[in-house]
Every structure is written in structure tokens, then in C-alpha cells.
A and B are shown apart, each in its own frame.
Chain A
């Protein structure tokens, strides 16, 4: 892998993260309306004295640049994201950290399932172009693409939890339950995970299938695939060895680009199922105007997406020799 390619990507990622931090800073310090008023939210009984002490405490009486900015950057770099109001002054990092696990579980598994199923369906669709499977799959994918994730979630909840009673209707584990052993815990977790996972996966599968399909169709009409056929190679070999490695390339890019958008869906799915992750945290922080938490989540998610994009770029570099410098 070319060192230049790697260095270039790292540099871009670094700059982007810096810009995110800057944006975060600007959002809360540099917008009109005194920041201390924003920070205090709508707590009643705010006197001038409280305002002054808040100002001092947060260093808001110093000039924006460079003092406030530098202070902000150093404290962020040290992992200090401030304190949440909603959680009675607990550090934001704590609050977020607690919710990170469930989100990673739901979201990570969802992406994995969607990638595997979506790519397989798309590849099959593209190979068997024009068949019944293709049209049905295409139509279904388009409809799924037009459906907000949370709507899917509500529908699934209605059908399978309320209607059929197969799954619980909210939460990650049954509240106040005790378990005889790890297996029981996993079973409980699993039954709570099933519907939200299905929702996230369904929402993503459509897009991946559509892109993979068109990528496969495009690849199959390339000259090197015709050459492979002319060589007398069997269909399976042509697909596996020649078509798919090339068809995968745009999909890798898509998975990465998509991450920014999928965050919206993930947040709402958690809300529907009351899944104790970053999504519900965000929505609760939103309604209580807990800005430090909101800021922290934005920072975390943005950096996470940038990082994931970086990984995707590296994977792409591994797959496609043409981009390696």
C-alpha cells in the first residue's frame, strides 16, 4: 500500500476532525444569544449572579480566540467534554460512555447483517438480470428505501411484538430481571435485540442490494468479463473471480458514505424500541436542552464516521490497486 495514499487519507481525516471540533465550538460559543444563557437552558430563577459565575466557570468572559478556543481544544483532547445538566452534573463522557455499548451492538450487528445479505441479494439479482427475482427484489428495495427506519420499526413492533407477541416491545433487557446464567441473559438480550436489529438491517439491505446489483450489471458488461467467458471459464468462476471483486468496489464506498446518513435512522430506531443507546440519549438531551451532551454526541458520532470512512478508504485501497500511489 502506497505510503503516500495512506498519509493522504490520514491527513484528510485529521483536518476533518479539527473542523468538526471547530464547528462544535462555534455552535455553542460564537452564535448570537449569550452562550451562558444557552448553557443554563430554561432553569428558572437565573439571576445576574448565577450568570456571572457560570461565565467565569466556563471561561466565557475571556475572548473567543484564542483563549476560549484553545481551552476548548485542550479540554476536549483530554477527554473532558463538560458536564451534563440532565444527569445532575455527571461528566458528559460518562453519560455517553454508558450508552455507547448498546448502540454499537445494535448498529454494528445491523450493518454486518445488512452488508452480507444485501451484497448477496444484489449480486444474485445482477447476475440473473431480468428475472422475477430481480424485479421483485428491485421493487421491494425501492420501497424499503423510501421508508423511514422508525416507521419500519413501528410496523415490525406492531406486527411481531404487539400482534403476535413473539418479542418484547421495548428496552434491551427485561427490567429488573435476574438470570440463572449467562445463557439466559443472552436469550433475554437476543429477544429484545431481534426487532430493532431487523429494522436496522432491513433499512440498509435495500440500498446495498440496489447498489450491488447495478454494480454487478455494470461489471458483467465489461470487456474483461467477456474475455473470461471467452476463456471457457465456468459461470461461477467468472462471477467470483472477475465480476465480484470489481463490483464490490463501489459498494465499499457506499457503505462508508452512508454512515453519515444512517446515524439518523439509528437514532430513531432506538427511540421506537426504547433501546438504551446513544439515540435515546440524544432525543432525551434534545428535549431537555442538555447542550453539553448534545455537543458530546455530535463530536463522538462525527469522529466515528470520519474514522469509519478512513477504514473504508484503506479497505478500498487494498481491493483496488489503481488507487494506491
Chain B
């Protein structure tokens, strides 16, 4: 086995190649706990009908209104008589898929810009980073609110779905993507800058490889681990952002996410009425999922950052 840090021809450190990385994460207590929690929620997201039956609507609601948990309704009911358990489990799919899609967009834009900007350098780099800094400074949440409403007003409402998610929520996905890429871009760019100076890149240049080729074949494999680590934390952030956007009223009552459930709870006055069963389940799910992502992210950070592991 090559000693840690050994370079293969393409410059990839075999110690942290992707499959090994996953196993390393599982080997740590925080990584293991995080993955376990996320697996459970992925299960909910993939097969909500199996677990709780089809999503209840105002029409199919059969329970008493705003009733506390009982044998028939283990998590109580909402103001329309729907089972909270049913709603919460179905909301898993919505929240997770939105989070996933938003993360994909964020990471794609962020890593793409980061690699290109870092590699090409010069004016392009300066300009890109100025824009990234701009997005880091302004309160992107308010911007997101405005963007979502404008885009929805322009596109109109409808019941088309992409990836099983209604258009109105896809708008949220896109807006999160275009407002959250800055942090990722900065991180990936920093790594690209340091990789650019390494010998194997010079070698590639000397034999006449083109910029895009180098970026794809040499830089990209070496930032993959960093991208993965960043994507994990981005996912957590995306879930939180979607939740908050839904909470201020931008959710879709036909496809409730956890945030949408919380908004419904608040507008009914659940906390004031003592109806804890309405918002606690969704709330706990959010905390658990974000916490799990943070755990995995922290495990990845420790693995990929040997400096952190004890000194001298």
C-alpha cells in the first residue's frame, strides 16, 4: 500500500479515493451516526406510500380536527383532520428532493466556477470572485424571497411536475441554487489554485494539453473529495433554506414540505394553542436531518484535513 500522500500519475492520493472515503466516514462515530440517520430518512423519502399510505388531502381527511396523538392517529391531526404522521412522512420526500436538487445546482455552479476561475486566473478570476463576494455579503434570503415571487408571478401557477416536484417548488430549487453557490466557489477555487502549481499540471501543460482537458482530467479528480465534503454541508444549508422559505409562505400546500407544515402550524396558531404535535414532528425531522449532515460533514472534514488530527 502506498504511503499516505503518495502521488499516482494523475496526482490522486490513493488514500482518499472515493470508495475508501465512504468507508472511512463509516468508521468514525460521528460519520456512522450521520449516515445512519440519513439512511432512515432516505427510506422515508423513497417509499412514503408504503409507510403511511397516500398523501392525505382535505378531501380524504378523516380525523378529528387538531386532535392530540391517539391510537388511531399516532401523531395527532391538523386543522383539516389529516394525520400529522402521514403529512410528515410525505413531507420527507419533498424536503429531501428539493434539498438534493438545490445542492446539485449549487455545487455544479460553485465548483464549476471555482475550478475555471481558479485555473484561468487573471481578470476572469477577479470578476468571478467579486461577484461571489457580493453574494456572500448581501442577505440572500431576502433576495431569494423576491426572486421566488417574481419568477412565480411571471411563470404563473400550474401543476406541472419535474422529478415529482411541482413547478412552484422547482422555482425555489433554482433560486436557492443561484444564491448559494458563492461559498462552494471560494472553497473549490482555493484548492484549484494550489493544485495549479503542482508538478503534474505543469507536465500536462508541457505535453500540450489544453486548459479544459487539464481541468477535467487533472484538477477535477483532485477536488472531488472536497466537493463531496462541501456538498454535504450545502445539502444541510439547502434544507434549512427551503424550510425557511416555506415558513414565510412560499411553500406549496399541495406538496407540503416540513417547512410548509411548520407554516401551516403557525398560521393556525398551534404553539399558542398548545398543539405541540402539529409542529414538533416536522421540526424534529429537520433538526435530525441537518444535524446528520453536519455530523457527516464534520467527519469528512477531519478525514480530509490531517492537520486537525492532533499536533506534534
Contact = CB atoms under 8 A, between A and B. Distances in A.
B209 to A, nearest CB: 37
A211 interface: no
A162 B275 CA distance: 10
Interface stretch (B41-49, B66-74, B236-244): B236-244
B112 to A, nearest CB: 22
Interface string A137-160: 000001101111011001101100
Interface residues of A, number: 54
Contacts of B147: 27
Contacts of B279: 151, 154
B141 to A, nearest CB: 4
A155 B286 CA distance: 14
Interface stretch (B15-23, B57-65, B120-128, B266-274): B266-274
B171 interface: no
A154 B283 contact: yes
Interface residues of B, number: 45
Interface in B236-271: 236, 240-241, 243-244, 247-250, 262, 265-266, 270-271
B35 to A, nearest CB: 16
Contact of B287 (A31, A151, A309): A151
A154 B269 CA distance: 10
B36 interface: no
A282 B265 CA distance: 19
B140 interface: yes
Contact of A286 (B243, B249, B266, B274): B249
A268 B134 contact: no
A321 B102 CA distance: 41
B228 interface: no
Interface stretch (A117-125, A235-243, A259-267): A259-267
Contacts of B77: none
Contact of A142 (B143, B241, B244, B294): B294
A132 B53 CA distance: 44
A84 to B, nearest CB: 15
Contacts of B272: 157, 161-162, 169-170
A295 B138 contact: no
Contacts, number: 142
A297 B291 contact: no
A16 interface: yes
A66 interface: no
B290 interface: yes
Contact of A27 (B150, B244, B283): B150
A162 B271 contact: yes
A151 B262 contact: yes
Contact of A162 (B150, B241, B274): B274
Nearest to B280: A155
Contact of B240 (A143, A148, A169): A148
A294 B286 contact: no
Interface string B149-163: 110011000000000
A28 B147 CA distance: 10
A165 to B, nearest CB: 11
B207 interface: no
A307 B18 CA distance: 43
Contacts of B309: none
B206 interface: no
Nearest to A24: B146
Contacts of B137: 16, 260, 302, 305-306, 309
A291 B311 CA distance: 55
B208 interface: no
A20 B236 CA distance: 27
Contacts of A297: 142
A221 B250 CA distance: 47
A155 B154 contact: no
A162 B140 contact: no
B274 A260 contact: no
B276 interface: yes
Interface of A: 16, 19-20, 23, 27-28, 31-33, 38, 142-143, 145-148, 150-151, 154-155, 157-158, 161-163, 169-170, 221, 257, 259-261, 263-265, 267-268, 271-272, 282-283, 286-287, 289, 291, 294-295, 297-298, 301-302, 305-306, 309
Among all A-B residue pairs, the 3 with the closest Cβ atoms: A264-B141, A146-B290, A263-B139
15 contacts: A16-B137, A146-B291, A148-B244, A148-B283, A150-B262, A158-B274, A162-B273, A263-B142, A264-B241, A267-B142, A271-B248, A282-B248, A287-B249, A302-B139, A302-B142
Interface of B: 134, 136-143, 145-147, 149-150, 153-154, 236, 240-241, 243-244, 247-250, 262, 265-266, 270-274, 276, 279-280, 283, 286-288, 290-291, 294-295, 311
Given A146-B288, A154-B271, 16 more contacts: A16-B137, A23-B138, A28-B150, A38-B150, A38-B153, A146-B294, A147-B287, A151-B279, A151-B283, A151-B286, A161-B272, A260-B136, A264-B141, A286-B248, A305-B138, A305-B139
